[in-house]
Structures are given as C-alpha cells and as structure tokens.
Amino acid sequence: MMEAIEGIQYPYALDKGGSIVKAVDAPRSEIYYCINCGERMVLRRGEIKQPHFAHYTENPNCAPETVLHKMAKDNISQGIDTALSLNFEYPLTWRCPICNQEHKGNLARSPREVETEVSLDGVRPDVLLSSVKGKPLVAIEVVVTHRPEKGAIEAYKRLKLPVIMVKPGWEDLEKLKSGLGLVKAWQAPCGAKRCPKCKKPIDEVEIGAFKGASCLYCGKPILVMGLMIDKRWDSRKLSPGAIKPARSVGVLLTPSKVASYAERTIVHVCSKCGALQIGKWHNIRYLVHTEVRREDLEKSKPYYRCEKCDTWLEKKRTVKSMTALQTLIPPDVEKGARNE
C-alpha cells in the first residue's frame, strides 16, 4: 500500500488558508490538503525524489491528472481575465489545417466573458469565451488524460465553434497564466491571405534591391534583386512574376530564352548599357546566384507572392495585414460586443 502512494505524486497542494503551494517551496510544519478531493496530504521532500505531496491515506478516487487538469483550466481562465482587465495580450499560435501555416491569435483582444462551468448544447467546454452578449466565440479543451469525447466533438461541429486543444504538463502551469503557446486548433478560421487568381494561401515576402555588383559589360554598378523568405535574403528564387515588383525597387529584370540558361527564366539587365547579364565567360549564376548581403541592401518593399501561379501583390506597409489574430473572433461580433 505504501508503494502505491509513493507512485502518486502531486507537485501542488492547498495550505490551511486555501492557497495553492508548490512542494518545493512548502514549509514542512504546515498542514496541506488535496486540491482535487480536499483530503489531508503529507509533504515529501527527501534527498532522492522530487519534492511532492501525497495523500495521507490513499484515495483511489483521486488522481494527480485531475489536479493538473483543474489547475491548467483555472490558470487559463484567470490568465485571460487578467489580460483583459490589464489590456494585455493572451497569445496563442496554431498550425492551421486549412493553409498549413502557423497563425497567431490573441484571446484577450476585446471585452468578452470567460467561463469555466458552462453547459452548451451537449458539451461542457473547460473554458468558454463568449461575447458580452453571450454568443459563444471559442472553446478551450484542456487535454490531460483523454481527448474530448465523441459527443462533445459532434456538439462542437453543430455549434461551428472554434476549439483550442491545450495539452499541459506540470511545468507549463505557470506559463498558462500569460498565454497558450503552440496549440492545436479545430474549426478555427484561417487568417491567411489568399491569391486572387488561384485562391491558394499566399506568402509574405520582402523584395530588396542590393548594390555591390557591376554590369558584366560596361562595368557600371547594377542593382541585384533579393527576396526575403523565412527571414533570409535569397537571390535565387526569381520568377517572371517578380519583374514588375523588381522595377518598383529599381531593379531591372527581363525574361530570358537563352538555351544554355534554360533553367533560368529571367535575368538582370543593365540600366546604363542595356545588356542582359549573360556572358560567354560570365555565367548568369554570377549575378542571379550572387549571395546578396544584408549590408548591401539599398531599398526594400513587402509583397505577397503566390508560389503556385506567380501572382505578386504589393503589401501596403501602413495597412496592417488582416491576420488570424483579428479573424479568430469575427469583427462584427466584436463590434456588437463593444457597442453594448
């Protein structure tokens, strides 16, 4: 029997005043109670084992997982409440199943209700965020031992409610007070900007004009085009669609049909002598494959680029792009909530 209790470790318990204490910081002389079942607990802090609490007498109906679940749930709802009242963000990131990109969100973006004991049509979310008018916006499920049951999943489908799945460990409890980190989301709206032509999600890229190179024929300085993808400048992935964007930063590109460079569809052009930057001895790779250097950046502009159909759209720097951060909660719902 002692063995069984040894195995069950609770890193947290309640003190006499009802406050949550961590076994590592807990004074030895105090009396402690289980957060879940309320029974007496003993503090175990020895040389070998991690400090922990254990039930004074074994309670087969109580499991540490229940405590972890409850604490995670409380920390999340209190975290969002605090963020709302202090006007902080309560951020989360999820890998979107629709566009396969990571989206960022903020669960404390505008006034809303945070509830933990609420019954919707056939389901009880661990945490539910609703508009001030009571419209359910997002459900949070804390997954410790098992995923939401089939009935719950069906109910969420019926309600068309975005569901965020959080799988916390004991070590995550503190962090949950200020945000969720990377989570799984289900039925969350995709905030990706889409290509107007093919409707595929479109990437944000930065284009740049780089100095430091000179014309292969007249020797005058020539600007080279660079693309920033995933925070790195690259000069290799140029496509015909880049010709117009390049011009907007002063780089001249043109389509090339030179057979020996068939793998290259566009080349740089010298603005002074008009020569295509291809030569017998100078491989086109010399200019197009030049490693562009950050310190040579002359000018840059943000663009959207569709990799599928090579459509490019200029991104206005001043207009903040509509990210999932804004779209996780539809704006019209927000407005309604604010006007109340």
| Binding-site ranges for Zn ion (CB under 5 A) | 34, 36-37, 62, 96, 98-99, 190, 192, 195, 197-198, 215, 217-218, 270, 272-273, 275, 306, 308-309, 311
- Whole-number minimum distance, CB 265 to Zn ion, in Å? 17
- Whole-number minimum distance, CB 136 to Zn ion, in Å? 21
Chain centroid, CA 118 distance in Å: 27
Cβ closer to Zn ion: 182 or 273? 273
Q: What is the 3-state secondary structure (H, E, C) of the chain?
A: CHHHHHHCCECEEECCCCCEEECCCCCCCCCEECCCCCCEEEEECCCCCCCEEEECCCCCCCCHHHHHHHHHHHHHHHHHHHHHHHCCCCEEEEECCCCCCEEEEECCCCCCEEECCCCECCECCCEEEECCCCCEEEEEEECCCCCCCHHHHHHHHHHCCCEEEECCCHHHCCHHHCCCEEEEEECCCCCCCECCCCCCECEEEEEEEEEEEECCCCCCEEEEEEEEECCEEECCCCCHHHHHHHHCCCCCEEECCCHHHCCCCEEEECCCCCCECCCCCCCCHHHHCCCCCHHHEEEEEEEEECCCCCCEEECCCCCCCCCHHHHCCCHHHHHHHHHC
- Whole-number minimum distance, CB 128 to Zn ion, in Å? 23
Burial class (CB in 10 A: 0-12, 13-18, 19+), 70: middle
Cβ closer to Zn ion: 60 or 134? 60
Cβ closer to Zn ion: 36 or 235? 36
Q: Quick check: 73 and 79 in contact, CB under 8 A?
A: no
- Whole-number minimum distance, CB 324 to Zn ion, in Å? 7
Cβ closer to Zn ion: 108 or 192? 192
- Whole-number minimum distance, CB 198 to Zn ion, in Å? 3
Cβ closer to Zn ion: 179 or 191? 191
Cβ closer to Zn ion: 68 or 152? 68
Cβ closer to Zn ion: 177 or 194? 194
- Whole-number minimum distance, CB 337 to Zn ion, in Å? 24
d(CA 121, CA 177) in angstroms, rounded, equals 28
d(CA 249, CA 52) in angstroms, rounded, equals 62
Cβ closer to Zn ion: 207 or 213? 213
- Whole-number minimum distance, CB 314 to Zn ion, in Å? 15
- Whole-number minimum distance, CB 163 to Zn ion, in Å? 16
Cβ closer to Zn ion: 279 or 331? 279
